[in-house]
Amino acid sequence: MNPTVRKLLRQNNAREKALSPESQAGMTDVVVYLRGQDLSRLAQEEIRRDILEMVLAGEARGQTMQQVIGLDYRTFCDEIVAAVPRRPRGVRMLSAVDDMLPAVTLLLAIWTAQKILSALLTGQPVLWLTLTVGEGISLACIVAVAVGLVTWVCRTALRRPPVGAEEGPGGLWKVFLLALVVFAALFLPRVILPQPLVTLWMPAAVVVTLLPLLVSALLDRRTDL
């Protein structure tokens, strides 16, 4: 993370602790929503700082967060975000890649550890690790699902269902079918596509696992500001 962004993040975290519990919960939703917008991390933290100062000033006058910024937090945030210039397309693409890289490293680390453990238990050579076609597809699906889930959580953080609304049977069936499709996409390829895709020397696999973190650190300097 860029040093300027890291410093502002620490300051905002410290300032947020001075809010009431109700305002802290509201700010958490606001921050999650901002994370899903087309904003640099610096812009996100600057907007967060400005909202924090407004709410803190309001609480000093005896007002709640809703009284300061209104009942519709989402519209309030959208109006602020709309006033921020859009980043160039290239920067947005690099930022999207940067967001995926930590998940890629985690999955590769799990895959490497699982392969090493499996080789030790079965008496196979540990120095050579084979990635199958199915495993490669499953890893890609897991990354896609994780990114999609995080994006959905961020985009819906300030969306509130109508009072008294309940999830009907049709909605539950949709959730079940979606979970079934995701499960199939994640695990079936491993079973039906066992063909070797690439075989890596174990030290090389460790380097490949750590490489996304290095790339992410380099991209942070470009996408955080």
Domain spans, the chain: 3-82, 89-223
In this predicted structure, what is the pLDDT of residue 191?
Answer: 80
Assessment of whether the complete model's pTM goes beyond 0.75: yes
Instruction: Taking residues 114-142, report their average pLDDT.
Output: 88
Instruction: Taking residues 108-129, report their average pLDDT.
Output: 88
133 contact partners, CB below 8 Å, separation of at least 6: 189, 193, 194, 195, 196, 197
- By C-alpha distance, which of 1, 93, 2, 73 is closest to 31? 73
Do residues 85 and 44 make contact, with C-beta atoms less than 8 angstroms apart?
Answer: no
In this predicted structure, what is the pLDDT of residue 166?
Answer: 45
What is the chain's mean pLDDT, rounded?
86
Q: Is pLDDT at 165 greater than 50 in this prediction?
A: no
Do residues 89 and 48 make contact, with C-beta atoms less than 8 angstroms apart?
Answer: no
Q: Is pLDDT at 225 greater than 80 in this prediction?
A: no
Do residues 176 and 169 make contact, with C-beta atoms less than 8 angstroms apart?
Answer: no
Do residues 39 and 88 make contact, with C-beta atoms less than 8 angstroms apart?
Answer: no
Position 163 confidence tier, pLDDT thresholds 50, 70, 90: very low
Instruction: Taking residues 17-21, report their average pLDDT.
Output: 93
Q: Which fold has domain 3-82?
A: c-terminal domain of poly(a) binding protein (1.10.1900)
More confident residue, 173 or 139: 139
Instruction: Taking residues 68-77, report their average pLDDT.
Output: 92
At how many degrees (to 10) do helices 3-16 and 41-60 cross?
A: 20
pLDDT digits (tens, 9 = 90+) for 50-61: 999 999 999 999
